[in-house]
Amino acid sequence: MQTTRNGDPKVLIALDFADEQQALALVAQLDPAQCRLKVGKEMFTLFGPEFVRTLVAKGFDVFLDLKFHDIPNTVAKAVAAAAELGVWMVNVHASGGSRMMEAAKAALAPYGDRAPLLIAVTVLTSMTAEELNQTGVLRSPAEQVLALARLTQQAGLDGVVCSAQEASLLKSELGPDFKLVTPGIRPAGSDAGDQRRIMTPELALKAGSDYLVIGRPITQAEDPAAALSAINASLHG
């Protein structure tokens, strides 16, 4: 279920809004052939599964980004619930371990071709080496991302969330079919905000990213549809 009725747009817009009408006003300006949409913890907590169903009904591929991390049984039930919503992609935390990831994968088997892509978060793009060390991980971010991505691939998942700075390493180590979803994307000159391991859209794609998660550089732009068009044009250039 990687290429859908909408083709295979690379940009996944992170809809991180506290106001549903504001989000829907942005969505009304977007074309499902030009982008996919990501619903994360803020909007899901505020507006629930009905908001996700609304986006799916409008014809968008939806990445449900709830980063599940729990015991295997709980995570398996949660990803099956995501599949019931008809989302295109769902994620878990790789640090939940192999058994958790295998249980999530097994829970999607009954959905066959309709199963969402299942990916795992490695090291958050907001984290620096120092912050990682504070959590007890003494490897560098790139080493930890590679270790967690290997675990994810061995568990049979479709890919990982990582920073574009690790994309070329992961593509060469894990092969072309293992999907790399990269947040922390910042067009030249835009504000990094809380992100730390960042890259521009063009360089991220060249480095091997399959999908670019982009939030504020589009959603907070004066003209979000124009910002998306400019990014898409830069990717095709």
Residues at the contact surface with ligand OMP, assessed by CB under 6 A: 14, 16, 40, 65, 67, 91, 121, 124-126, 161, 183-184, 193, 195, 213-216
Do the annotations mark residue 74 as ligand-binding? yes
Place of tokens 């998660």: 213
CB 163 within 8 A of CB 125: yes
Active-site option among 10, 61, 65, 210: 65
Q: Kindly provide the b/e burial profile for residues 33-49, where b requires at least 16 CB atoms within 10 angstroms of the residue's own CB.
A: ebbbbbbbeebeeebee
Active-site option among 10, 19, 41, 67: 67
- Whose Cβ is closer to ligand OMP: residue 125's or residue 153's? 125
Q: How far apart are the first and last CA of the chain?
A: 27
Is 65 a known active-site residue?
A: yes
Is 70 a known active-site residue?
A: yes
Which residue has its beta carbon closest to ligand OMP?
215
Cβ 1 to ligand OMP shortest distance, Å: 18
The encoded tokens of residue 194 equal 């809380």
Do the annotations mark residue 8 as ligand-binding? no
Rounded-to-integer distance, Cα 16 and Cα 32, Å: 18
Closest CA to 158 of 212, 204, 120, 209: 120
Active-site option among 58, 70, 171, 206: 70
Do the annotations mark residue 93 as ligand-binding? no
Rounded-to-integer distance, Cα 152 and Cα 47, Å: 30
- Whose Cβ is closer to ligand OMP: residue 16's or residue 20's? 16
Do the annotations mark residue 232 as ligand-binding? no
Rounded-to-integer distance, Cα 15 and Cα 216, Å: 9
- Whose Cβ is closer to ligand OMP: residue 110's or residue 128's? 128
Binding residues for substrate, as ranges, are: 16, 38, 65-74, 125, 186, 195, 215-216
Q: Which sequence positions are flagged as catalytic? A: 65, 67, 70
Binding residues, as ranges, are: 16, 38, 65-74, 125, 186, 195, 215-216
